Structure 1
Amino acid sequence: MSALAASSPASASAAGPAFVDFVDVEKSYDGRAFAVTRLNLGVARGEFLTLLGPSGSGKTTTLNMLAGFERPTSGTITLEGRPVDRLPPYQRNIGMVFQNYALFPHMSVAENVAFPLSVRQVSKADIAGRVGRALDMVRLKQFGDRKPAQLSGGQQQRVALARALVFEPSLVLMDEPLGALDKKLREHMQLEIKQIHTMLGVTIVYVTHDQSEALTMSDRVAVFNNGAIVQLGSPDDLYNAPQSSFVASFIGENNTLEGIVDRVSGKECRVRLTGGGELTALAIGVAQGNACHVAIRPERLSLMPAGANALPATVDGRIYLGDHLRLLARLGNDQVLTVKVGPEATMANGEAVTVSCAPQDCRAFPADAAAAKAGPS
């Protein structure tokens, strides 16, 4: 059955043999500095995998090597068990969606979508049917005769998506495809792309620097920094169980407190905060005497003066966001915490409060890991 006519759900599991496999892949442009280093990554058939990271972290270089636009300096890339790292792009049967859409302005919408079929010498009768189904899938069938310039940004992105899917590729790559859209349209397109992925069961590798986009759309997320994957897991794992201060700070909103590890007991440690105060946190790679950063999500903080981690503070600001308030709570050591509370909260600036959180909601990381920064763009 044609992929565009199918309605099989996508697999959300990375179990089983890898559909795409990077084995010891590295990329250097000058023989000294590496844009990608020691990359080992498997992608399951039907998976939606997002490569997430700041500019210069290696995610786009990784995508370009998979697409065939760049060749790895070393290592092997396989697709369905076949090495592809020396194949030109047109021999890989991969669909591609770019941030700038890359539509042909002189062609109609239907002609743009038909282009991949034309170069594959598909019959005209078959082209017409497949283009119609592809445009219907992205709800643009009535716009087939228009030129791209006559469409909105979101509609142009739908055309680009239809063109990437019309020849039934085994894999679709998306490079910041929603970066040029406004916030509301971007959020709408996130849901549309995810629905199409679920409907077709196609494998998608998606690149973005937008962490909320990655959390919304992905089965798994590979977080890149300085040319390497620093953590790979489900959105829930990355948000609730980050393994480094970099991931904790990059994924979602986060409070960071500085301190010294006073002692370690099992999975927990006691931290003396810089400037005064103590709290208990999960110990993630820290030892007694280490300088550390403690990461706490704003929604995990409470204004109830109870538990092992109760810190006196003063309200230093209020940010109203409709469904909730964000209070800025200044501790006695002058560090400021953001606390997410209900919109009915009445605390005023200057009011004394007690901020508390459970030890399992605090994660202590080595301070030097927090200093890791992305490489050049």
Structure 2
Amino acid sequence: MLAAKSVSHAEPDRFVEFVDVEKSYDGRTFAVTRLNMHVAKGEFLTLLGPSGSGKTTTLNMLAGFERPTNGSIMLDGQSVDRRPPYERNIGMVFQNYALFPHMTVEENVGFPLSVRKLPKADVTTRVHKALDMIQLRKFGDRRPGQLSGGQQQRVALARALVFEPSLVLMDEPLGALDKKLREHMQLEIKQLHSMLGVTIVYVTHDQSEALTMSDRVAVFNNGGIAQIGTPDSLYKKPESPFVAGFIGENNTLEGVIEQVSGNVCQVALKGGGCLRATAIDIGAQGTSCQVAIRPECIRIAAAADEENDFEATVEGRIYLGDHLRLLARLDNGQLLSVKVGPETTTTEAQRIRLGWSHTDCRAFPAQQ
């Protein structure tokens, strides 16, 4: 009697797992180096980074379009390193939609079901359900060329979801859309994720898109992960100058470490003045550093009542509707961008006092 075949399943928080994964195309340089990352079942994880950082290569290895040079990729507890793309039960959404122009919307959405040889009645039922989900049922007999860009992207999304995959990969899916439509589609995709509970790995270079949509974000740089965490933790607690500069807006002040006490340091700023900051892996006394502070964390102070207190001159005012952006030059010559309410009545050339706490700014080793 044959023994039943055992099927391993990953822990829910390790539905997808990269173990020491590396990828080289020429045997000398690596597009991805020593990547260790996991994705929980039902999670929306975004791979964020500049061009050439390794995020798309990582997605292609997970999809099966590329094979790792070293390491292993696990899906639901099983290695998929040698499994072709069509055996991975993965849905894929591309930036260019990749719809068949000669097929109708219904035929495009039903294509993954047809190649799986599902009965025609089942195909029709699932296609109609998918088109209802994206609110395009009435466009079922049209061809892609008769749809707007946003409608085509929704069709591509329905096609990726119609066969109920265990995982959906999205490679810059909104990059070809205008700003308003892109923001609308971000909310639609997030709502579909919440409704269906499917696991999504999403690639983008747009940090606002990543912050808006994701449960967690992996920030890529030079072929590896610089930091991974929730959007809130990445924004408020960056662990490196790269992450601080890539996620949101940041002011950077240059200086030298004067003193360190626990996780707080005192910094002598270039050009004069000193401040206290949260210390992040900084060196010893006398080493160069850079201090990062968000524009919205800087307050216009009426008196010297802030932990860090500086006098500055307003060099510019930019009205942005819901807030006002001030460009303020500190007396030491360094420039700060300050985000304040639109009712603020400061004028150019006005002298102001700026203040913030050490918890609002983070000191990092100076980048070489």
TM-score range, shorter chain: over 0.9
CA distance in 2, matches of 1:23, 1:289: 39
Q: Tell me which stretches of 4 or more aligned residues in structure 1 moved more than 3 Å.
A: 14-17
Aligned to 2:346: 347
CA distance in 2, matches of 1:16, 1:172: 16
Aligned to 2:106: 110
Aligned to 2:40: 44
In the TM superposition, residue 355 of structure 1 has moved relative to its aligned partner by 1.1
CA distance in 1, matches of 2:198, 2:252: 39
Aligned to 1:333: 332
**Compared with structure 1, are the counterparts of its residues 83 and 15 closer, same or farther at alpha carbon in structure 2 (3 Å cutoff)?**
closer
Candidates 97, 100, 105, aligned match of 2:96: 100
- Percent of aligned pairs with the same residue? 72
CA distance in 2, matches of 1:310, 1:345: 19
CA distance in 2, matches of 1:366, 1:53: 21
Aligned to 2:3: none
Stretch of structure 1 that moved more, 15-24 or 248-257: 15-24
Aligned to 1:374: none
Counterpart of 1:299, as a letter, is E
CA distance in 2, matches of 1:275, 1:87: 59
Candidates 266, 270, 277, aligned match of 1:274: 270
Candidates 285, 288, 292, aligned match of 1:291: 288
In the TM superposition, residue 16 of structure 1 has moved relative to its aligned partner by 4.5
Counterpart of 1:347, as a letter, is T
Secondary structure of the residue aligned to 2:52 is coil
Provide the aligned C-alpha RMSD in A: 1.1
After TM superposition, the structure 1 = structure 2 runs for residues 237-248 of structure 1, keeping only pairs within 5 Å, are 237-248=233-244
CA distance in 1, matches of 2:286, 2:77: 48
In the TM superposition, residue 333 of structure 1 has moved relative to its aligned partner by 2.1
After TM superposition, the structure 1 = structure 2 runs for residues 1-377 of structure 1, keeping only pairs within 5 Å, are 16-287=12-283, 288-304=285-301, 305=303, 306-368=305-367
Structure 1 segments unaligned to the other structure (5+ residues): 1-13, 372-377
Secondary structure of the residue aligned to 1:261 is strand
Return the structure number with greater relative CO, CA threshold 8 A, min gap 6: 1
Aligned to 1:8: none
Counterpart of 1:258, as a letter, is E
Counterpart of 1:232, as a letter, is I
Counterpart of 2:329, as a letter, is R
Structure 2 segments unaligned to the other structure (5+ residues): 1-9
**Compared with structure 1, are the counterparts of its residues 334 and 300 closer, same or farther at alpha carbon in structure 2 (3 Å cutoff)?**
same
Aligned to 2:7: none
Aligned to 2:5: none
> What do the CA deviations read for 1:247-299 (whole angstroms, capped 9, x no partner)?
00000011111111111011100011111111100000112222111000000
In the TM superposition, residue 321 of structure 1 has moved relative to its aligned partner by 0.5
Counterpart of 1:160, as a letter, is A
> What do the CA deviations read for 1:137-183 (whole angstroms, capped 9, x no partner)?
01111100111111111100000000000011000000000011111
Secondary structure of the residue aligned to 1:221 is strand
Aligned to 1:375: none
Secondary structure of the residue aligned to 1:34 is coil
CA distance in 1, matches of 2:11, 2:294: 30
In the TM superposition, residue 191 of structure 1 has moved relative to its aligned partner by 0.5
Aligned to 1:9: none
Counterpart of 1:297, as a letter, is R
CA distance in 1, matches of 2:243, 2:333: 25
Counterpart of 2:289, as a letter, is C
In the TM superposition, residue 334 of structure 1 has moved relative to its aligned partner by 1.8
In the TM superposition, residue 348 of structure 1 has moved relative to its aligned partner by 0.6
Number of equivalences? 356
Counterpart of 1:88, as a letter, is P
CA distance in 2, matches of 1:16, 1:170: 12
Q: TM-score, normalised by structure 1?
A: 0.93
CA distance in 1, matches of 2:349, 2:234: 35
CA distance in 2, matches of 1:255, 1:151: 43
CA distance in 1, matches of 2:259, 2:85: 55
